[in-house]
Amino acid sequence: MFEFTSARTLGTVQTVDTASVVVEVSNIEQLKRLQVNRLVALQSSRAGESLIGVVQKIARSLDPKAHVTEEMAGEVPFDVDVSINLVRIALIGTLIGRVGEHRNVFRRTLETVPDIGAACVSVEGKDLSEFMSAVANVTEKEALYLGVYTLDDQANAYLNANKLLQRHALIVGSTGSGKSYTTARILEEMAKLSSPNAIVFDVHGEYGSLDGSAFDHLKIAGPSDIGSGRSIGHGVIHLPFWLLGYEAMVAMLTDRSDSNAPNQAMALTQAVLKLKQEYLCANNQAKLATEITVDSPIPFKTDDLLSELERLNEERVPGARATVDKAGPLNDRLTRMLGRMSARISDRRLGFLFSPPKDALDLVWLDGLVSLLMVDAATERPGIKVIDFSEVPSDVLPLMVSLVANVVFTVQQWREVEKRYPLALVCDEAHLYIPATLDAAGSDQISVRAFERIAKEGRKYGIALLVISQRPSEVNRTVLSQCNNIIAMRLSNAEDQAVVRRSLPDSLGTFADLLPVLDTGEAIVIGDATLLPTRIRVAQPSKKPTGDTIAFWTRWNSAPIAEDLSVAVTAWRRQSQSAS
């Protein structure tokens, strides 16, 4: 593809390292055309191959008697007493002229390094367009169209969608950088497939604008949905208390600082297991009742749990003398937990948890929930489930998001291997429920542990994570370490930039320097899904998320929208924007 003629040669290789070289440029006019992070090609010692590199640093000593600057020290083989122009280049891959029937195949590997004196040319114009076409050579069945390359806006940028999801992915960017519409872009491309399978954790209700036959919009039941009869099949999801695991129940109902916390946890274990076994025996499932654990998803009524705990709290047992009773082992030790539980039950915002519809007390209800969340050939429901968590109180949000994630992960784990259908979990605002710093109550710890397991084991069971956050430094490190693909939009915070910088190889560290100056909708894409770590201008989705940045000055320069603010006050009181 590249012609290494004397007329086109930029310069020649002077020093060679493991993954970088230094090129001396004799023509000052050619030096002026170079820019940091632009592409160059170098002659390979193998016929039919060229090495591709990225310009990292350009230096010129202006004083003919000056020695090489400290910045380039160690990269020049000897002292220089004449004017010299040096370019440091990081090698990123090899362009092979022919592989089988395919021409111009780019591979992100280095089997050779340039010889001393090898020619170097700038990749621009027609060469750049042809090279970008080679980079974007992804098979049609695995191609995800993201936008165009900043280096060449005539070349479409495709990601290998299989590798994007198999190795998990991270989308990061400050507010207003285009992070949400990049997510929407990926979801729209996903929706074009015949049978996509994904769950979007929509924390702020931003993705309600996405429409089409592939999208199914659901919401966690709010106060206005309680007692309305809305359930599965009406776009409303309840997550009954009995569906929680034991640790989540303990985190929600006990206070770790309470001296009676161990007694309360023990009482909760006894009561929950007893109620689950009684339910099974009453429904002709006596054999199953002997096989379950406290974590088994078996229905029971919250009121029955409250009554059983009250009984244990007031229980008296026979004393040493038959005529005298004494306090039971848990007598008066559960008072605080009972108070917390009563307060939770009376909170209408938690109605989806403590006041589910009657059909949620049937064993088959869980089958319906799972079919709603996961693609099932029998139901033929839309494949992309956008779940609105905006009405869920923030203190229980981590538990509820991780509960949904854990339900689908567990079902996927117990399916027959050949029947597992891959599923993607799109975690918007991940720092809210997969935090780096855990709270004292323990609910964050439970959520983090669930997502850590999915991040580490999900690939084996066909579950992918797409982690999205404006503060990557506040997202759990273990989950981040499992994301082998990064789509980084503009980041201004040094701690957030450091997260991306740690994911880059040393030879490409200069890419992180671009993070604060990226344009809106522009991203640096790194990882297994792209052959070339580079800047991409993301194509706008047809439907933008509702969280798009508001143009303050423009709106203030027009007439305000006529609105009865009492409607907002009523919604505040009701803790729901839905009509009652």
Span of 187-191, 278-282, 354-358, 550-554 with lowest mean pLDDT:
550-554
Mean of pLDDT values over 420-449:
90
Residue 437: per-residue pLDDT: 87
Q: How confident is the model at residue 233 (pLDDT cuts 50, 70, 90)?
A: low
pTM of the model: 0.86
Span of 209-218, 228-237, 534-543, 565-574 with lowest mean pLDDT:
228-237
More confident residue, 453 or 129: 453
Of 204, 220, 258, the closest CA to residue 442 belongs to 258
Contacts of residue 411, Cβ cutoff 8 Å, sequence gap at least 6:
370, 374
Give the phi and the psi of residue 529 in degrees, each rounded to 5: -80, -15
Residue 576: per-residue pLDDT: 65
User: Which segments of 5-101 are extended strands (E)?
Assistant: 11-16, 20-24, 39-43, 49-61, 84-99
| Other CB atoms within 10 A of residue 174 CB | 18
Q: How confident is the model at residue 66 (pLDDT cuts 50, 70, 90)?
A: very low
Residue 235: per-residue pLDDT: 86
More confident residue, 80 or 305: 305
pLDDT exceeds cutoff 70 at 232: no
Identify whether the C-beta of residue 165 lies closer than 8 Å to the C-beta of residue 196: no
Mean of pLDDT values over 270-284:
95
Residue 102: per-residue pLDDT: 77
Residue 311: per-residue pLDDT: 93
Residue 293: per-residue pLDDT: 93
Residue 134: per-residue pLDDT: 78
